[in-house]
């Protein structure tokens, strides 16, 4: 009976310690995400609001946009925007943006894909 009690006590403390570690990991992860996402969210929200778009959705979901010059998909928050008339066009690099801006007929890039 003494052996069974020692095994049960060991299992009990093993469960308590593992739950404590899991809870501590969640709390630390929540604190790290809360601090960094609040700061990044305010920057992304301000830049999206300035471009006339909606701010980034919470939870880390990001919208992908397509570069009209080379066809690469890039996250909207990482893209390089260019306001063309009443429309915002997103690019993967400054080289693609400059190539699009220097083109006499930018509509040919829009038909790329």
pLDDT tens by residue, the chain, 113 residues: 799 999 999 999 999 999 999 999 999 988 888 755 444 444 444 444 444 545 555 556 678 898 888 888 999 898 899 888 888 888 899 998 888 888 877 666 665 54
Contact 90, 97 (CB under 8 A): no
> Which residue in 83, 90, 96 sits closest to 52, CA to CA?
83
Q: Rounded to whole angstroms, how far apart are CA atoms 106 and 88?
A: 13
pTM to 2 decimal places? 0.44
Contact 65, 73 (CB under 8 A): yes
Q: Rounded to whole angstroms, how far apart are CA atoms 93 and 88?
A: 15
Q: Domain spans of the chain?
A: 1-56, 62-113
């Amino acid at each position: 009976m003494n052996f069974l009690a020692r095994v049960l006590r060991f299992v009990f403390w093993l469960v308590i310690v593992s739950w404590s570690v899991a809870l501590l990991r969640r709390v630390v992860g929540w604190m790290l995400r809360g601090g960094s996402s609040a700061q990044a969210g305010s920057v992304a929200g301000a830049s999206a609001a300035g471009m006339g778009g909606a701010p980034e959705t919470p939870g880390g979901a990001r919208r992908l946009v397509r570069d009209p010059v080379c066809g690469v998909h890039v996250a909207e928050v990482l893209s390089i925007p260019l306001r063309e008339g009443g429309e915002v066009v997103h690019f993967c690099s400054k080289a693609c943006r400059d190539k699009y801006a220097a083109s006499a007929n930018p509509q040919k890039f829009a038909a790329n894909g």
